[in-house]
Structure 1
């Protein structure tokens, strides 16, 4: 996700998912879900109407769709209006409190360092980025990447950061000036794959679902899957970020939102197939390969209630971990311990319940 959203080629997603702009525009009225649940009056909601960005067509947004469709937001007192919002709109809304919460990956950490007024309040899911090579490539792992060219969506974007962390952890400099690897930006995933197939780059760092779609063709194989491979395995790549203004003025609202998200995450962990059905029926994304979509939802390991009980400090620990990694490769300048302390807020989930 670039900061808060993943920008994925529309053409690429025709293989599995495309950002459902027209569909999302036609559905998701704030008072009616695709399952027919209707609220008669905003006055029935304890916390009233709020806007939450939730129309980017990404599987990463599944907890938003499920919390909306299954009534978890409503149960916690919110009349939610799902909106489209670009990165700058989200930043402005978070700063002034008109957007209470968003999901995003660790690429947003530098924005926190640059004074965007948000706090990490929870983890969302595990990784959704893969590094691919052609099936017949001699490259087997990170040790083979010295001197190679790697395509990324943008310099400084999350796939670039992921590849950089992987390289640096294994003794290969990711700094362009050192010349041990070369990063080439391709804003369109299709162009990146074309370059890979022609040998113009050696590796492509791709967002899901596009990376998984390409793997499934049999023409490419994965050398790094951040949902399962070190140094990313078992760690959140995407988090929930809450408005600092809302946290200061109405922490009970943030707690209520987290209860809704957690209920949705738990439901997804128990019902991945039905989750994909709801996404399809609600036009949150267009899915051509349902089986692959279900596999991806499972691989993201949305945390269940039991998962959270086993590791109550996981979110803070993951924020600290990725702050350390980004600090080591030069994307953060703040001491990681200090950054994690300032960037993470431990919200009492029972506030206002």
Structure 2
């Protein structure tokens, strides 16, 4: 099986030597919308720089640009002394979406499927995707006794959080191979929402049979617990390109404080460029940041393996989003109300105008919204 194709001109880190639970409730549009079509795009009201910007990200290798921009002071430098920055770390995307929904953060690095759910369940009023951050770095790793997809029948497989990007990918893949899953547990394969650290221990103890995980956790199960790769998600996409991490902003904050959002994106672009240009130094900075933010640095071999499977890019790979949306619909983690067709529901989810302005200032080409937003 392959999943649809996309190409992008991004910032790449592929150097093999270089060397984070609440249950997710599936929400329908019915409580939030009547038309099933997105709200208008953010109107920049230019209220000036925000007094505070609250940024959320995961203390994870897949969020390396956020880690670098935080610990290296890129966010602080771009935003200046007049804007206070508050950082919050999350274990999975659905929790970050709830924080955006609850008004406790303004901008978040997260996976595409939670971003889709946050968008469609609010009829487009909650957020916009404003940039990409990473592609790749997700695998289904399993016990040595499992050598074929058919062997997964009757197993327990962990994913970071129900409705998260890896959870949706796992459900879509299993369904394509005739294996059922159930959002309440059970099915041919029992997908168990589990925090990544617990997943490692449960696998080590023989309590689960494998997991569909982002880096560095896939590498940790392989190198520290004896798992092997059954599915590298990159192999499911032509050219191996699929979106893993995006940046979203609430529509309210984006509309009221475009200068602040642009400054955040300036720092993000700088971090991605620096990672690409200084891969050896980047590995050290990323590991030091993980030690600070997650409480423990990675083994050198784990870090090297993790980074070798990731591409860091500001391009959000918009051409893959419709297919990820379909995967969520098919998996049951994204729901539309009765009578609302999926066509057009994602229209407007991207607002790449500020990113493109930053890229233009750097002499870099604009990125593509694939017809799903402003650019």
Select 1:323's aligned residue among 312, 322, 325.
325
Select 2:190's aligned residue among 182, 186, 193.
182
Distance 2:158 2:224 in 1: 19
Select 2:344's aligned residue among 338, 348, 351.
338
Contact 2:139 2:212 in 1 (8 A): yes
CA offset digits 1:178-228 (Å, max 9, x no partner): 943333444421443045x3xx544333443232112114722111233x3
Instruction: Map 1:1-353; keep pairs closer than 5 Å.
Output: 47=49, 50-53=52-55, 56-74=58-76, 76-78=78-80, 79=83, 81-84=85-88, 94=100, 99-108=105-114, 109-115=116-122, 117-135=126-144, 137=145, 139-175=146-182, 179-187=187-195, 188-194=198-204, 197=206, 201-217=208-224, 219-226=226-233, 228-231=234-237, 233-281=240-288, 283-285=292-294, 286-303=296-313, 308=315, 315-334=317-336, 335-349=341-355, 351=357
Distance 1:190 1:92, change over 3 A: closer
Contact 1:54 1:84 in 2 (8 A): yes
Distance 2:326 2:149 in 1: 20
Distance 1:271 1:141, change over 3 A: farther
Distance 2:140 2:95 in 1: 30
Distance 1:93 1:207 in 2: 21
Instruction: Please state how far the C-alpha of 1:62 moved relative to its aligned partner.
Output: 2.0
Distance 1:174 1:338 in 2: 27
Instruction: Please state how far the C-alpha of 1:326 moved relative to its aligned partner.
Output: 0.9
Distance 2:135 2:357 in 1: 27
Instruction: Please state how far the C-alpha of 1:327 moved relative to its aligned partner.
Output: 1.5
CA offset digits 1:107-149 (Å, max 9, x no partner): 41323322271111221112343322222x1x33334434443
Bigger drift between 109-118 and 68-77 goes to 68-77
Instruction: Please state how far the C-alpha of 1:237 moved relative to its aligned partner.
Output: 1.7
Corresponding residue pairs, total:
295
Contact 1:255 1:350 in 2 (8 A): no
Q: TM-score, normalised by structure 1?
A: 0.69
Contact 1:121 1:344 in 2 (8 A): yes
Higher relative contact order (CA 8 A, sep 6+): 2
Contact 1:132 1:203 in 2 (8 A): yes
Distance 1:349 1:264 in 2: 14
Q: TM-score, normalised by structure 2?
A: 0.66
SS in 2 for 1:287: coil
Contact 1:319 1:344 in 2 (8 A): no
Structure 1, unaligned runs of 5 or more:
1-17, 19-45, 309-313
